[in-house]
Structure 1
Amino acid sequence: MYKLKIMKNLLLALSFMAVVPGIAAEKNDTTFQYRDKQIVVKIDSVETKIVLLDKNGNEYTKTKEESYVDGQEVERIFVSSPFVPIKKKSGHTFYGHFADFFIGQNLLNGGSEMHSRDAKSLEWGVTVFDIGLGLTKSDAFGLMSALQVGFVHNHFNTDYVLNNIGDKTIMVKNDTTGVKTSFLKYTYWKIPLIFEWKKKFAKRDAFIGIGISMEWRTNIKSKYRIGDKRYTVSRELNVNPIGIDLEGYIGFAGFNIFAHYGLTKMFKDGPTCHPIGLGVGFTF
């Protein structure tokens, strides 16, 4: 509390110094050193700002800014979005490369009995947030985790649908005419645990990551479409709600190629399917 009071008083004193007539005559920054921090008074012909810097010369994330224009004090408040990472240079923080948005193919990988249309089967999703722990002083190797949400459509030949017969999930012949698409859809929430290595080239990161993930599947439905109308076949499919996947990605800058493989079966009692995903991701 005592240190905060000293800092507050020092900033207040600098604020008054900054607006004294004549100090803004030259367009130069004045820097004061306080312990391991720098306090910079930025002066131009229009306004005066006071900025706090850390010992590495990196500006702190702004939550409040004091400006002085023609002797008037202007206060700005900054509110951060939860989807924008706040990056601070602290001990073991590691900034990895989970894609903000990813899209690609998702294959059930169940053989010919699934009557799959792999070219039309896809998944897409976003990373809600991620965290990382640096494992080396050079910040080249770290352990990453995240929360991701994804949406999957596995398509089948139009004359088949996925249904539950008794307690078993199987592909069933569909004699309905005019069917445009037949598919399984679901949403997943995924928590990956990834070891990532990265190296800078021309101020951009090249990186590679590998690990495992756990996903929770929900909103599972088997449907088919005739024209613009969709018909639900079943919501009671024997899908394992929890899946364990092998995960990996490789990339450069804001682009990566990802892949994942289901270590656990998709269905409790039904075709032996270990889903495979392959696609691209983008970091904005």
Structure 2
Amino acid sequence: MKRILFLLSLMLSMTAMAQESIPQDTTVYINGRKININEQNGKIKVKMFNTNALKDSVEDVQVFEGVYLDGRSIERTTIVSLPFVKRKKDNYRFDPHYAGIYFGFNKSADKTFRYSSSLPQINSKSWEWGINLFYGGIAISPDNHWGVTSALGVARIVYKFDNNYGLEKVDGITVCKPAKSGIEYQSSWLRYWAFRLPISLEWQTRLGSDRAFIATGVEAEWRTGIVSRAKYDGDKHTLSNKLNTNPLGLNMLIQAGYRKIGFNARFALTSFFEKNKGPEMYPSSIGLAWYW
């Protein structure tokens, strides 16, 4: 009797072990992918395959494999590059460029963009800086490489003069004249603020790991705080703050760059002073920019 009970218990245990060793497979299809779940010896193995139109899995297009034991993942493999398998390319997204911060040197020119000899300017000390706080753009080509961009910013502009000259208003006309007898200017300058609204046509493309771009367009500006000043006798003095200037101006703007660094150049298309009420002056500048 004892032998019979021993043999019966041995057969039952062998049957249970055999059932545990028999793999239990389940296959499901979700969103065009085949998922194979295999349970054996307490482990659950999950494999995911890309499938073709006939839902036949191919081993070399496996995209995921995981092994789970007691609810924990103990192995994971993801295939990110497969031979002879066409990969979907990301669509190019148009990203407008306008300088976050820019700095440049100014030059007074005539209407033909040549240096204006009517103003004895110190080029190395004539500068401007600006910042664009708001900008945007819209793609206008199917490949998103061409677009129209715009921005809104503010700039500070300074022109320094040489040879003891300064801008003053004489008999209703703005002139650049020497200091009065007995006065020696330590420095003299014209300065103003400008609120700028550019609109440009931009072309951009991916170059290496980042983008290169070039843009050109027009830029409207509203000038304010225009004043002519000079420093002498140890103090700063206002020569004139009513200089017959045009409060509104229009510039041609050119920009180009790579990544976050570039250059910009602007040339005034309208005169800074009112016609026949001041020297010929068309502000221009060229400088570097950092884009964000």
Same fold, TM-score > 0.5, yes or no? yes
Q: Deviations over 1:227-260 (max 9, x none)?
A: 7631111110111100011111111000111101
Matched, 1:278 2:286: yes
Matching residue within 149, 159, 165 for 1:144: 149
Match runs of 1:54-203 below 5 Å: 94-110=94-110, 111-175=116-180, 177-203=183-209
Change (3 A) 1:212 1:93: farther
Matched to 2:120, the amino acid is H
Match of 1:254 in 2: 260
Matched to 1:208, the amino acid is I
Change (3 A) 1:228 1:136: farther
Matched to 2:129, the amino acid is W
Give the Å deviation of 1:182: 0.6
Matched to 2:236, the amino acid is R
TM-score by length of 1: 0.65
Deviates more, 1:215-224 or 1:174-183: 174-183
Matched to 2:170, the amino acid is I
Match of 2:245 in 1: 239
What is the percentage of aligned positions where both structures have the same residue? 28
Change (3 A) 1:143 1:92: farther
Give the Å deviation of 1:95: 2.0
Q: Is the 8 A contact 2:246 2:272 kept in 1?
A: yes
Matched to 1:249, the amino acid is Q
Runs (5+) with no aligned partner, structure 2: 1-90, 111-115
Matched to 1:256, the amino acid is G
Matched to 2:285, the amino acid is G
Tell me, in whole angstroms, the C-alpha distance in 2 between the residues paired with 1:169 and 1:93.
Answer: 50
The structure that has the greater radius of gyration is 2
Matched to 1:219, the amino acid is G
TM-score by length of 2: 0.63
Match of 1:221 in 2: 227
Q: Is the 8 A contact 1:158 1:181 kept in 2?
A: no
Match of 1:54 in 2: none
Change (3 A) 1:97 1:156: same
Give the Å deviation of 1:156: 0.6
Tell me, in whole angstroms, the C-alpha distance in 2 between the residues paired with 1:178 and 1:244.
Answer: 36
Q: Deviations over 1:94-143 (max 9, x none)?
A: 42111100000111225222111112110001001101011123221100
Give the Å deviation of 1:225: 1.6
Give the Å deviation of 1:92: 12
Tell me, in whole angstroms, the C-alpha distance in 2 between the residues paired with 1:94 and 1:212.
Answer: 20
Higher strand share: 2
Tell me, in whole angstroms, the C-alpha distance in 2 between the residues paired with 1:218 and 1:154.
Answer: 15
Tell me, in whole angstroms, the C-alpha distance in 1 between the residues paired with 2:240 and 2:183.
Answer: 19
Q: Deviations over 1:26-63 (max 9, x none)?
A: xxxxxxxxxxxxxxxxxxxxxxxxxxxxxxxxxxxxxx
Tell me, in whole angstroms, the C-alpha distance in 2 between the residues paired with 1:263 and 1:211.
Answer: 12
Give the Å deviation of 1:158: 4.7
Q: Is the 8 A contact 2:120 2:163 kept in 1?
A: no
SS in 1 for 2:143: coil
Runs (5+) with no aligned partner, structure 1: 1-90
Tell me, in whole angstroms, the C-alpha distance in 1 between the residues paired with 2:261 and 2:97.
Answer: 9
Give the Å deviation of 1:222: 0.1
Matched to 2:108, the amino acid is L
Tell me, in whole angstroms, the C-alpha distance in 2 between the residues paired with 1:191 and 1:96.
Answer: 15
Give the Å deviation of 1:282: 0.3
RMSD: 1.9
